[in-house]
């Protein structure tokens, strides 16, 4: 029997990571590759669970170790964001919309990376290029992933291609008003954030990056208005410090993105705070507000990396 190939996103998976994996595995199967299966690298968040229930799609298989496994990576290409022992996996393809990371492979593979708002945009385009019209459920998953990752097209990462993809997927998914559905997804995400413990707030969307030879962790959570988590700051910073120390990170950042105010507050712990301040401004009580900042990948990582390098 042919060994399975798993399509999988990053650890602490978000809706784009999970839905892109499911949709790409489904496309592969329709093109005759029956050994391709979707997988996930962590527990599902509230928004992703809502999406899977809405379109009646089962949660993909949970993988906890990459050693000896055939993998197609979606929505990431940084070792610190991937399954443990990624260096021992057989990586066949990567579909991605973030920066080029630190993954090094011994041979050429398909590596598709473009600056769009969601990996699901690339997967949806590939469906139509290959002449495969997505079924309702798959169209719905990809539409949801795009709306989620772009915050309903509010994020500066949003492109015309993301909007076009949603317009093309909506009738296939049976979604008459994509904007209203996007607001429903956002409501689920924001309400879930208010109920999370400090450990969940820090850990549920925590990504590691290598910058200037040092490992940096950045966690992001969306809230409706600025100040929503102010009363819990001490506890959240305590969790952020504990995670930094346990992982041996040089710096750790907690990014609170306000959808209504279209800004983010960055809370910082770690070494060389003057480098953080050079990138984002003077710290006050461990944090700084950055107006207009809503994207970790486009507005936080590049600015910090420019200083750390």
- Whole-angstrom distance, CA of residue 241 vs CA of residue 82: 22
| CA 293 to centroid of chain Cα atoms | 17
pTM attached to this predicted model: 0.90
Mode of pairing for the β-strands spanning 251-258 and 263-270: antiparallel
Per-residue pLDDT at 147: 98
Per-residue pLDDT at 1: 58
Per-residue pLDDT at 82: 96
Kindly write down the DSSP assignment for every residue of the chain, as one continuous string: -PPPEEEE--BS--HHHHHHHHHHHHHHHHTT-TTEEEEEBS---HHHHHHHHHTT-PPPEE----TT-EEEEES---GGGS-TTGGGSEEEEEEE-S---S---SS--EEEE--SS-HHHHHHHHHHHTT-PPPHHHHHHHHHHHHHHTTTTTSTT--HHHHHHHHHHHHHHT-S-HHHHHHHHHHHHHHHHHH--HHHHHHTTEEEEEETTEEEEEEEEEESSTTTTGGGHHHHHHHHHHHHHHHT-SEEEEEEEETTTTEEEEEEEES-HHHHHHHH---BTTEEEEET---IIIIIHHHHHHHH-
Q: Positive or negative, the Cα torsion across 160, 137, 145, 258?
A: positive
- Whole-angstrom distance, CA of residue 206 vs CA of residue 203: 5
Per-residue pLDDT at 37: 98
pLDDT in tens, the chain (309 residues): 589 999 999 999 999 999 999 999 999 999 999 999 999 999 999 999 999 999 999 999 999 999 999 999 999 999 999 999 999 999 999 999 999 988 989 899 999 999 999 999 999 999 999 999 999 999 999 999 999 999 999 999 999 999 999 999 999 999 999 999 999 999 999 999 888 999 999 999 999 999 989 999 999 999 998 889 999 999 999 999 999 999 999 999 999 999 999 999 999 999 999 999 999 999 999 999 999 999 999 999 999 999 998
Tell me the domains of the chain and their CATH numbers.
5-187 (3.90.1640.10), 196-308 (3.10.310.20)
Contact between 255 and 221 under an 8 Å Cβ cutoff? The reply is yes
- List residues bridging with 251 in a β-sheet: 216, 270
Per-residue pLDDT at 194: 84
Burial 252-286 (b: 16+ CB within 10 A, else e): bbbbbbbbebbbbbbbbbbeeeebbeebbeeeeee
- Whole-angstrom distance, CA of residue 199 vs CA of residue 58: 27
Contact between 21 and 120 under an 8 Å Cβ cutoff? The reply is no
């Amino acid at each position: 029997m042919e060994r399975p190939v798993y399509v999988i996103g990053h650890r602490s998976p978000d809706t784009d990571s999970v839905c892109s994996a499911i949709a790409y595995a489904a496309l592969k199967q329709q093109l005759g590759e029956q050994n391709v299966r979707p997988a996930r690298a962590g527990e599902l968040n509230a928004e992703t669970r809502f999406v899977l229930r809405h379109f009646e799609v089962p949660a993909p298989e949970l993988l906890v170790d990459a050693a000896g496994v055939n993998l197609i990576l979606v929505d990431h290409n940084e070792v610190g964001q991937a399954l443990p022992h990624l260096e021992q996996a057989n990586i066949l393809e990567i579909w991605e919309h973030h920066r080029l990371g630190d993954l090094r492979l011994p041979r050429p593979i398909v590596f598709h990376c473009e600056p769009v708002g969601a990996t699901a945009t690339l997967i949806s385009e590939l469906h139509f290029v290959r002449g495969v019209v997505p079924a309702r459920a798959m169209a719905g998953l990809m539409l949801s992933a795009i709306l989620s990752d772009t915050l309903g097209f509010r994020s500066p990462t949003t492109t015309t291609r993301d909007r076009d993809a949603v317009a093309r997927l909506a009738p296939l998914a049976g979604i008459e008003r994509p904007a209203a559905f996007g607001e429903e997804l956002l409501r689920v995400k924001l309400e879930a954030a208010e109920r999370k413990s400090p450990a969940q707030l820090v850990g549920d969307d925590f990504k590691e990056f290598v910058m200037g030879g040092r490992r940096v962790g950045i966690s992001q959570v969306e809230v409706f208005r600025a100040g929503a988590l102010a009363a819990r700051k001490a506890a959240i910073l305590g969790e952020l410090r504990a995670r930094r120390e346990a992982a041996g990170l040089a710096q750790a950042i907690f990014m609170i993105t306000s959808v209504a105010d279209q800004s983010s507050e960055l809370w910082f712990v770690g070494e060389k705070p003057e480098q953080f301040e050079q990138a984002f401004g003077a710290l006050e009580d461990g944090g700084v507000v950055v107006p207009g900042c809503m994207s970790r990948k486009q507005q936080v990582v590049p600015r910090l990396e420019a200083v750390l390098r």
